[in-house]
Amino acid sequence: MSGNLLLIISILGLIVLVVLVLTILLYFYVKRQGDRRAREVDWLRKNGTRITAYVMDVSTRGDRRTSGSVDFALDELGGASYAQTNLDYRASVTPPSYHIVAKGMYPQTHEYYTFKRTVSRDELPEHYTPGSDVSFEVSVLIDPKNPKRYYMELPRSS
């Protein structure tokens, strides 16, 4: 009996150790991604071209206008994509995120670009009402060599 108990305790200890190691690895991965993003934003603030774009849409994940569709887009730094689906955010455990879409012209090429940014409720400026038809100005920092690499600056929420 004591041999079985020792085996069970050893297995549980191993499981706890694996979970602990995975948690630590995940922490450092998320921290590294945040540091990388901060460095990219700093680079764009120093070297980027600032343009004015106009917010054309503010929607939530699960907005009825996107019901039944999936929208894939580059994030504001040209990295991984996000999916906008017809999930009901009120039934979700995670707080809603807001998708901001702006359009602006790159002055060097006179081409229009669409800029997207996803923010939390706390980051969403008060006057950016989801579903509003009003357009707002927003600053966008663009990489002069790659306009698809950008960062949309939003006014601070008060």
Enclosing domain of residue 68: 49-153
Count of the separate structural domains present in the chain: 2
91 & 139 share domain: yes
129 & 74 share domain: yes
Q: What is the dihedral of CA 118, 132, 95, 151, to 10 degrees?
A: 10
Q: What is the pLDDT of residue 123?
A: 80
Least reliable range by pLDDT among 24-38, 96-110, 123-137: 123-137
60 & 16 share domain: no
69 & 131 share domain: yes
- Name every residue whose Cβ is closer than 8 Å to that of residue 55 and which is 6 or more positions away in sequence: 100, 101, 102, 128, 135, 136, 137, 138
Q: What pTM value is reported for the model?
A: 0.58
Q: Identify whether 135 is part of a domain.
A: yes
pLDDT at 71 over 60: no
Q: Identify whether 104 is part of a domain.
A: yes
Q: Identify whether 7 is part of a domain.
A: yes
149 & 93 share domain: yes
Query: What are the backbone angles phi and psi of residue 50, rounded to the nearest 5°?
Result: -90, 125
Q: What is the mean pLDDT of the chain?
A: 77
Q: Are 137 and 54 in contact (CB under 8 A)?
A: yes
Q: Are 52 and 63 in contact (CB under 8 A)?
A: no
Q: What is the pLDDT of residue 58?
A: 87
Query: What are the backbone angles phi and psi of residue 96, rounded to the nearest 5°?
Result: -65, 150
54 & 37 share domain: no
Site of tokens 């039944």: 68
Sign of the CA dihedral 91, 92, 94, 97? Answer: negative
